[in-house]
Chains A and B, each alone.
Chain A
Amino acid sequence: MVLQSLKNCLWLSCVVRTPKACFRSTASGSLVIQSVSNDVYQNLAVEDWIHDHMDLEKRQVLFLWRNSPAVVIGRHQNPWQECNLRLLRQKNIKLARRRSGGGTVYHDLGNINLTFFTTRKKYQRMENLKLIVKALKALRPQLDIHVTDRFDILLDRQYKISGTAAKLGRTSAYHHCTLLCNADKFVLSSVLKSPYEGLKSNATPSVPASVKNLFEEDPSLTSEMLLDAIAKEYAMQHQIDHHIMLINPADETLLPGINDKTKELQTWEWVYGKTPKFSVSTCLNIAYKGSVLDVKVNMDVKHGRIEVCNIDLPEQWLPPGLYSELVKNLTGSKFCPNETTALVTTLLRVCPQDDELHSRWSLLCENMIMLM
């Protein structure tokens, strides 16, 4: 196998001369490309770019990528329901929403991602997964791996090592899947557990599964070996040379418009705002001056914004004017801890300057923010 660096590769010198040229067809057409970036948003943007701009009629593409720690939710999922957002923020783990369907996955450098690009007509998930299994078995014949009819790949008949999702557009389609080589299972299980109760939603739920790393089965395996084996098998099946072309997802000359796509994937409107409508119904237990208040909270969240907000406070705990001001401002606001913190602290400036009042307000608001 020949892994060509950006400076040496003959084709990639074309990148410098004529960006379009590097996507000109090789002998038969198909291409294996690998991202040099570990940024989940950049890599997802590459998928979008290829899906939107490349003509896949003559050639198919296999895209290999890995990400630094990130949680990736499916197109129609609810991040509050799928993962522990507070833990993600604490550990600085990114949250991304992909454009394909399916469930939530945890990515880190011990996980490899494979995307198979074809025309819409040639969309074939099972064949792709069989290709992967064939490649893995060629590398390590003793591995007990097979593809299920849910498009998962199982190790030893019980552990999931790969999950699948797909996106179909007007003329093109892609199927991507993960492959667990040496991911941090501890972090994986803790971030993919949502502490939420009382959340009602029609978002696609994930199906939890026991996972295992291929590395646990055979410690001599590395991500690089697996990537290479799969690329080799793909090259063989597509009758092309075994070259992996490196691409830089920040290269605007190579991929015009890619930076806009990357930015869009990072917007709040995309990551959180695309969550299907859901409702939160919970009870806050607020400890105040020796006693505990039970405060029922009901909120409807649409497009990531609070559409309806009901807080059941004991009468006169907050002056009614203040209570209605809080509800009025929360309505239409993002269901986001940062936004809400800024909102409530700003509102506090125009409240009567009373310490007791301030501490009640802060207590209530902090509990509300914990919900987000």
Chain B
Amino acid sequence: VCIHRVRSCSSIRFIKSKYVCVFDKSALKFSHQQRLFRTSAVSCGQIVQFKLSDIGEGITEVTVKEWYIKEGDSVSQFDSICEVQSDKASVTITSRYDGIIRKLHYSIDEIAFVGKPLVDIEIDASKGVAPEEDVVETPPMSHEEHTHQEIKGHKTLATPAVRRLAMENNIKLSEVVGTGKDNRILKEDILNYLAKQTGAILPPSPKAEIVPPLRKTETVPAAPKDKACKIPVPVSRPTAFSGKDKTEPVTGFQKAMVKTMSAALKIPHFGYCDEVDLTQLVQLREELKPLAEIRGVKLSFMPFFIKAASLGLLQYPILNASLDESCQNVTYKASHNIGVAMDTEQGLIVPNVKNVQVCSVFDIALELNRLQSLGSAGQLGTSDLTGGTFTLSNIGTIGGTYAKPVILPPEVAIGALGRIQVLPRFNGKGEVFRAQIMSVSWSADHRIIDGATMARFSNLWKSYLENPASMLLDLK
């Protein structure tokens, strides 16, 4: 075991034997000044046993609760290895070394003992072994942790963060000119080196590298510290990208959607689009909004769209039907259970308002409020989400004009509503006026619905909305 002062690193002894990792505790305590323990291993692929260090309070055993790594993973110094628990205290054990995990000595829920091996790590031969940081008494002059890297007999000083940056970019520290004190390699030096090599500019380093040095080193007056402190922003813009692809299995609700959408696409869709002049409806809603608020209900445009759709379905009931699997029978549904597509954290959910044919616009608004608050709380029930016969998707709240909605089986039609735009239009007298225009895109099952039916339904729906007073005539 070699003991050196950081500032006066004279000679380094190379130790080959397996007791490289063993630190005698008593030896560590005999100095109050800064001390770092450093050992170096030269042999290739050396397996060191990383022992569970002292937890404090005289605790001798802990329970292993979670492993963050598995055998075969590579770890860097300070990476989290596992989480152990002892008497209401949860402890994160971090790696002392860079290397590859070769053996986990405990499985989950087993008791681990302080001082006994926790994991075996195979250390890369070309890199030095990091000091035992959990017993390092932070030196009065500097809060940075230094590691020495011995390559070809040169000592190169660099912080772990800088070392990692070098490693990520496959740079040998020995080839970089350090501009810090004692020829210390700073992050800027690595970035400059890379810029020279590739002629390209580099990505900023991850947050973790920037923030801790700033926080921990600001109170220290030493000169080299200042240099390290002055790296609050990345020196260059990103072009080289070091991200990794991430693959996740398709599960749960997403998996069910895959099945449903695949079935949906088997339906021969046809589309029909139009634009609706909502100028009068906008005005009507403004008048009715405060009335609804008095009754404790938020009134949007949807209740009108839904009611108008139901009135339309009374005239064209085939749009509220269902075709059986063998395409032998069409079932005309008596209830107009109109689904409203809702965007939630999970994705697209379609709760429906039941029996719109017997509901007033206010009833629909009330029910929508209920479904919306349940939807955002993630508490919609199965009955809210089943039994739909026709769907409206108000994608316009997010944006867009025309869309190509996909029919949700077992339904046969769906409408997508774009956003309301203020556009110039001509009135009957040939004058230009400000119109509130919304586009609608219908999709229908061409096996049982023809274009003419869809067009007539759309025209009827449109006429109710363009002239809301006409809804009064047909309201049931």
Judge whether A168 and B90 touch: CB under 8 Å: yes
B 84-106 to A, binary, CB cutoff 8 A, 1 in contact else 0:
01111111101000000000000
Judge whether A168 and B255 touch: CB under 8 Å: no
Judge whether B211 and A350 touch: CB under 8 Å: no
A20 to B214, CA, bound (A): 8
Binds A, one of B17-25, B374-382, B425-433: B374-382
In the complex, 9 of the A-B residue pairs with CB atoms within 8 angstroms, ordered by the A residue number, are A57-B143, A89-B377, A165-B89, A169-B92, A170-B78, A276-B108, A332-B251, A346-B253, A358-B386
**Interface SS, B side:** mixed
Which of chain A's residues have a CB closer than 8 A to the CB of B108? 202, 276-277
Asked if A166 lies at the interface with its beta carbon under 8 angstroms from chain B, I say yes
Which of chain A's residues have a CB closer than 8 A to the CB of B252? 305, 329, 332-334, 339-340, 342-343
- Kindly identify, within residues 384 to 434 of chain B, every residue whose CB is under 8 Å from any CB belonging to chain A: 385-386, 408-410
Given A329-B252, A333-B252; A167-B385 close (CB under 8 Å):
no
Judge whether B92 and A76 touch: CB under 8 Å: no
By beta carbon, the residue of chain B nearest A347 is B256
A23 to B90, CA, bound (A): 26
Q: List 10 extra interface pairs beyond A103-B88, A123-B57, A165-B90, CB under 8 A.
A: A20-B215, A167-B91, A173-B56, A257-B207, A332-B251, A339-B252, A342-B380, A350-B259, A352-B325, A369-B382
Asked if B346 lies at the interface with its beta carbon under 8 angstroms from chain A, I say yes
Given A23-B215, A53-B215; A168-B85 close (CB under 8 Å):
no
- Kindly identify, within residues 156 to 171 of chain B, every residue whose CB is under 8 Å from any CB belonging to chain A: none
Which of chain A's residues have a CB closer than 8 A to the CB of B218? 20, 23-24
Given A76-B65, A101-B85; A350-B409 close (CB under 8 Å):
yes
Shortest Cβ distance from residue A179 to the other chain B in the assembled complex, whole angstroms: 16
A20 to B259, CA, bound (A): 53
A75 is contacted by which of B83, B251, B408, B409 (Cβ under 8 Å)? B83
Count how many chain B residues have C-beta atoms less than 8 Å from C-beta atoms of the other chain. Answer: 60
Which of chain B's residues have a CB closer than 8 A to the CB of A348? 386
Which of chain A's residues have a CB closer than 8 A to the CB of B92? 167-170
- Kindly identify, within residues 146 to 174 of chain A, every residue whose CB is under 8 Å from any CB belonging to chain B: 151, 164-171, 173
A339 to B252, CA, bound (A): 7
Judge whether B88 and A165 touch: CB under 8 Å: yes
Shortest Cβ distance from residue B84 to the other chain A in the assembled complex, whole angstroms: 9
A166 to B56, CA, bound (A): 12
Asked if B216 lies at the interface with its beta carbon under 8 angstroms from chain A, I say yes
A121 to B56, CA, bound (A): 7
Asked if B31 lies at the interface with its beta carbon under 8 angstroms from chain A, I say no
Given A165-B89, A166-B88; A345-B386 close (CB under 8 Å):
yes
Which of chain B's residues have a CB closer than 8 A to the CB of A125? 57
By beta carbon, the residue of chain A nearest B257 is A346
Judge whether B385 and A342 touch: CB under 8 Å: yes
Asked if B109 lies at the interface with its beta carbon under 8 angstroms from chain A, I say yes
Asked if B463 lies at the interface with its beta carbon under 8 angstroms from chain A, I say no
By beta carbon, the residue of chain B nearest A21 is B218
Asked if B138 lies at the interface with its beta carbon under 8 angstroms from chain A, I say yes
A120 to B393, CA, bound (A): 56
Asked if A25 lies at the interface with its beta carbon under 8 angstroms from chain B, I say yes
Asked if A259 lies at the interface with its beta carbon under 8 angstroms from chain B, I say no
Asked if B363 lies at the interface with its beta carbon under 8 angstroms from chain A, I say no
Judge whether A168 and B215 touch: CB under 8 Å: no
